[in-house]
Amino acid sequence: TDLPIQRVPDTWLVGKPTLYENHLYVADRVFGRVFIVDVKDPDNPTLIDSFETPGNPGRIKTTQYGYLLPNGYEGLSLCRKVE
């Protein structure tokens, strides 16, 4: 069976996804963008935050304290957990 496609309004998500608890993190390595989406209600995903980085973000690793953002030559960033 086919699953329905759910979209975040006015946002084009492209990149490597990581799902942790109720948050979907998407790292776009090509354009240096990161998106954080609340997926608590799968029928109504909501963009929490998005930002650009000076590097090329790779797949995000989440922890209980926040998330690690590998960012190419810019190094590794530890970002606080989104509430």
pLDDT in tens, 42-59: 899 999 999 999 989 999
Burial class of residue 10 in the structure, from the number of CB atoms within 10 Å of its CB (0-12 exposed, 13-18 middle, 19+ buried): exposed
Q: Which amino acid is at 10?
A: D
d(CA 56, CA 47): 21
Q: What percent of the chain is modeled with pLDDT above 70?
A: 95
pLDDT band at 4 (very low <50, low <70, confident <90, very high): confident
pLDDT exceeding 90 applies to what percent of the chain?
Answer: 65
Confidence label for 64 from pLDDT (cuts 50, 70 and 90): confident
Residue range 67-80: mean pLDDT, rounded: 90
Tokens matching residue 22: 């109720």
**Strands of the 33-38 sheet, one edge to the other:** 16-20, 23-28, 33-38, 46-52
